[in-house]
Chain A
Amino acid sequence: MVDTISSTVAAGGSLLARFRSLLERLNRMPILITIAVLWLVLMLAIAVSADLISPYRFTQMDLRNRLSLPVFMGGSWAHILGTDELGRDVLSRLITSIRMSLLIAFGATIIGAVVGVTLGFVAAHFRGIVEQAVLALVDFSAAIPFLVLALAVLAFFGNSLVLFVCLLGFHAWERYARIARGLAISGRMHGYAAAVHQLGASPWRLYGRHILPNIASTLIVSMTLAFPEIILLESGLSFLGLGIQPPDTSLGNMVGFGREYLSSAPWIMLAPAFVITATALCVSLLGDWLRDRLDPTLS
């Protein structure tokens, strides 16, 4: 019993030490990374509290105030970022769009990682024909640009939010699959995974409790690098009118509809365009930085 207590205390101590070293690392963060983190925190806060902070409902129309100017171009404070062609508040739409786009990007990133890691582990566990099949799938997804593949699937299956998120989830799955397979095989060949196997552990325990935590940092870095790509992909498809459908709204969808008022009301398109770019930039800066810090093996 005393042992348990002392071990908990020791574990707590190491946790505290880890937290402290994390803080130290944060202190050494370059200014650019700090800005990126702050921007992302802001985006997350907006996404979480979207209903609370948006001044209007994002579908609410104000037909007397159509295409009104944003404040910085001489408009009124009633619509800080102006209104669109139906008199809908751009700021409110932007807030809802941020939530939608982030939600999709998170969902898709997680789906991609789960699918990829699972297939990678399956390939590593069974080897032989199963592995060859997974590798052929990896080859296949490298054969077509993902945007074209996504367009084809949308053409055949029609459009729904669930399908759209799953589809985006398949972006970059093969990267996770490749990482998971390679690291699992090398772990099983020699070392801790082989030892755990010899202890009689089930594959669930072997992959879930031992291999997965050991490759987690590499996976997290890959996810950070894939996340902005998914944001861009989602906005691109929505811009083309093939992603999020009205009345729902996303950042790319806003840019797409704002395009028709490019000459008369460029603010409709500029605000979401800025958010897309800034978010993609910040996540990829953070991802590069994390990669250099945590995982020098990824080039």
Chain B
Amino acid sequence: MNAGTADLLEARDLARSYTVRRGLLGRPTLVRAVDGVSLTVARGETLGLVGESGCGKSTTARLVLGIEPTDTGSVTFDGGAMPRSGTAAWAHLRRRMQMVYQDPLAALDRRLTVGVQIAEPLDIHRIGTAAEREERVAAVMAEVGLQPHHAARHPQSLSGGQRQRAVIARALVTNPELLVCDEPISALDVSIQALVLNLLGDLQERLKMGMLFVSHDLRAVRQISQRVAVMYLGRIVEEGDPDAVLHDPAHPYTQALVSAIPHPGKTTTRVILQGDPPNPANRPTGCAFHPRCPVATPTCRTQAPELKPRRSDGRRVACHVAHGEAAAARAPASLETC
């Protein structure tokens, strides 16, 4: 292991595009799912990644795990470059970095019992003797709040929350240093969501894991993260302390997201976004957000803003207006702090 100061995970300028082809001889279109994303996750830190569906946050999650190859950019894990997916070195790294999925039923094999599946990473990586594996499975199951008798059950006979606990147990059984959660609570019943969210937070704190928490739910991200990054059309547009970002969003898109959170008993001005929802196959020029932005200036149409610290407080944001480089077309929508 490297010195504790180094970041556990560092991704630099990740880009990934897909060609979508209609028919055998149709014209291929390039879809830029991720377009220049850089992020870091330190040991024991949780980074929340927020954005609406289609903004590339799930692709980013798969890229940092090395499941998918990057077009350009690099992923460094614990000081070493990410090996290519499917190689022995890549497979070996899996015991140190794990994933929790959106749909736990789909992520589990319906033909095998939960106990067998939780033990599978130990089998794959040949960790411990049979007895030790059994002990470890029992321990990790207790840790995530599953009963011993659940081991003999098949996934389809468990409840949604129990399934997600099983997926988490399988991810934790090798004591990973990095846990990537891709929308881990959005497929669960609302009553279960808080429980699983708390469980993930507790586990992260107790096991001192680095965690990348991908979600479209700003409040969940705020509850669990030490840092939050907001994504729009394949790029990070704002990054900072969750409370600060929620109280004082710098980017107009973040302002819109924050204003959409319902607050009982408080009246806030909702920023209603104009224009079409984002389409990664047809990315606008300049700042990708400008067609929907209430404060867009002519510069925004032509020049893509850079993600850099704001002069006033050091918040990292990618917006000409927020940096004061361009005068707002009209005053930014007044937002009452919440």
A–B direct touch, CB within 8 Å, in complex? yes
- Residues of A at the B interface (CB closer than 8 Å) are 3-4, 6-7, 10-11, 14, 190-192, 194-202, 205, 210, 213-214
Chain B residues positioned under 8 Å from A10 (CB to CB): 149, 152-153
B95→A200 contact, CB < 8 A: yes
Among listed B73-81, B103-111, B195-203, B220-228, interface-contacting one: B103-111
Instruction: Check B101 for interface membership: any CB of A closer than 8 A.
Output: yes
Contact flag A192-B91 (CB < 8 Å), given A6-B149, A11-B113: no
Question: Could you list 19 A-B pairs, sorted by A, with CB under 8 Å?
Answer: A3-B134, A3-B148, A3-B151, A6-B148, A7-B115, A10-B152, A14-B152, A191-B103, A194-B67, A194-B107, A195-B101, A195-B108, A198-B94, A200-B92, A200-B93, A210-B111, A210-B112, A214-B109, A214-B111
Measured CA separation A19–B86 after assembly (Å): 40
Residue of B nearest to A10 (CB): B152
Q: How far is the CB of B49 from chain A (nearest CB, A)?
A: 18
Interface size on B, residues (CB 8 A): 34
Among listed B10-18, B119-127, B236-244, B275-283, interface-contacting one: B119-127
Contact flag A192-B149 (CB < 8 Å), given A7-B115, A11-B113, A199-B170: no
B95→A195 contact, CB < 8 A: no
Chain B residues positioned under 8 Å from A205 (CB to CB): 124
- Residues of B at the A interface (CB closer than 8 Å) are 65, 67, 90-95, 98-99, 101, 103, 106-113, 115, 120-121, 124-125, 134, 138, 148-149, 151-153, 167, 170
Residue of B nearest to A6 (CB): B149
Chain A residues positioned under 8 Å from B106 (CB to CB): 190-192
Measured CA separation A7–B92 after assembly (Å): 30
Q: How far is the CB of A202 from chain B (nearest CB, A)?
A: 7
Q: How far is the CB of A62 from chain B (nearest CB, A)?
A: 56
Chain B residues positioned under 8 Å from A3 (CB to CB): 134, 138, 148, 151
Q: How far is the CB of B123 from chain A (nearest CB, A)?
A: 8
Chain A residues positioned under 8 Å from B152 (CB to CB): 6-7, 10-11, 14
Measured CA separation A11–B114 after assembly (Å): 12
Chain A residues positioned under 8 Å from B93 (CB to CB): 200
B92→A195 contact, CB < 8 A: no
Q: How far is the CB of B169 from chain A (nearest CB, A)?
A: 12
Q: How far is the CB of B59 from chain A (nearest CB, A)?
A: 14
Contact flag A195-B115 (CB < 8 Å), given A6-B152, A202-B91: no
B134→A197 contact, CB < 8 A: no
Measured CA separation A192–B124 after assembly (Å): 15
Measured CA separation A10–B154 after assembly (Å): 11
Contact flag A201-B134 (CB < 8 Å), given A7-B115, A10-B149, A210-B109: no
- Contact partner of A197 among B67, B103, B115, B149, CB < 8 A? B67
Q: How far is the CB of B172 from chain A (nearest CB, A)?
A: 12
Measured CA separation A163–B222 after assembly (Å): 68
Q: Which 5 residue pairs across A and B have the least CB separation, nearest first?
A: A200-B94, A10-B152, A7-B152, A200-B91, A191-B106
Residue of A nearest to B91 (CB): A200
Residue of A nearest to B90 (CB): A200
Known: A194-B67, A201-B124. 19 other contacts (CB 8 A): A4-B134, A6-B152, A191-B107, A192-B107, A192-B110, A195-B167, A196-B120, A198-B67, A198-B94, A198-B99, A199-B98, A200-B90, A200-B92, A200-B94, A200-B125, A202-B91, A210-B109, A210-B111, A214-B111
Q: How far is the CB of A170 from chain B (nearest CB, A)?
A: 28
Contact flag A213-B101 (CB < 8 Å), given A7-B151, A200-B95: no
Residue of B nearest to A192 (CB): B109
Measured CA separation A7–B137 after assembly (Å): 13
Q: How far is the CB of A153 from chain B (nearest CB, A)?
A: 32
Residue of A nearest to B104 (CB): A195
Measured CA separation A194–B167 after assembly (Å): 13
Contact flag A199-B101 (CB < 8 Å), given A3-B134, A10-B152: no
Q: How far is the CB of B336 from chain A (nearest CB, A)?
A: 42
Measured CA separation A200–B103 after assembly (Å): 20
Contact flag A196-B151 (CB < 8 Å), given A3-B134, A4-B134, A201-B120: no
Residue of B nearest to A206 (CB): B124
Measured CA separation A62–B285 after assembly (Å): 95
